A and B are shown apart, each in its own frame.
Chain A
Amino acid sequence: KNQVEQSPQSLIILEGKNCTLQCNYTVSPFSNLRWYKQDTGRGPVSLTIMTFSENTKSNGRYTATLDADTKQSSLHITASQLSDSASYICVVSGGANNLFFGTGTRLTVIP
């Protein structure tokens, strides 16, 4: 069964600290993996997209990693800011826009 599981469900960290969000998937075949940031009341915004051959991709303070062998991905946020408070959604594509969504991790950054 094609599934995408994210952990933790929610996370609270202090401003300035680093954190890592996890995404495990069982989607096959695999085409690409995306991380989205969704602010409350807004649509998701793409952070990174990784294909099978890519094992890391950065977007500013966001760094995503992908291990296609173990079917795991992580999103690392460096030097967190209050504006990083959002839900982070992992989406795995099985090709041809066949998309499987995680339920997200709710991150709260506190001063």
Chain B
Amino acid sequence: DAGVIQSPRHEVTEMGQEVTLRCKPISGHNSLFWYRQTMMRGLELLIYFNNNVPIDDSGMPEDRFSAKMPNASFSTLKIQPSEPRDSAVYFCASNALNLKGATAVKQFFGPGTRLTVL
């Protein structure tokens, strides 16, 4: 299994530009999460999907951030327009949704995308 795949691994862009981060979850997993990690704030959950449907986007910092999951094997996180304070490592993670409702399910993280906005 290739694990969670993220692209690009590094992105450097100028303030005001649109940034799109991509994620392919582990095959068979039907929950997908987007996180942001900075030195100051640590890991933060931005949004998560169950069965391609956004469930909770309360962690999305501003309207400049949007996420989509058009199918079970692909998700994007878009920032438009980007700002220097968006510089962080963005992680995608996935897990199999437990149909019995248990939440103690092991989550698998991708390698992350390091975003630098100049």
Say whether B45 faces chain A, with CB atoms less than 8 Å apart: yes
Total residues of chain A contacting the partner, CB 8 A: 24
B61 within 8 A of A: no
Interface majority SS (helix, strand, loop, mixed), chain B: strand
Whether B34 sits at the interface, judged by CB under 8 Å, is no
Contact A44 B111 (CB under 8 A): no
The 8 closest A-B pairs by CB, nearest first: A43-B109, A103-B42, A32-B104, A101-B43, A49-B104, A46-B106, A44-B109, A31-B103
Residues of B within 8 A of A (CB): 4, 31, 33, 42-45, 48, 55-56, 91, 93, 103-112
With A41-B111, A102-B42, A103-B42 given, name 18 new contacts (CB 8 A): A34-B107, A41-B112, A42-B112, A43-B4, A43-B91, A43-B111, A44-B109, A45-B109, A46-B106, A46-B107, A49-B105, A50-B104, A51-B104, A89-B43, A96-B103, A97-B56, A101-B43, A104-B42
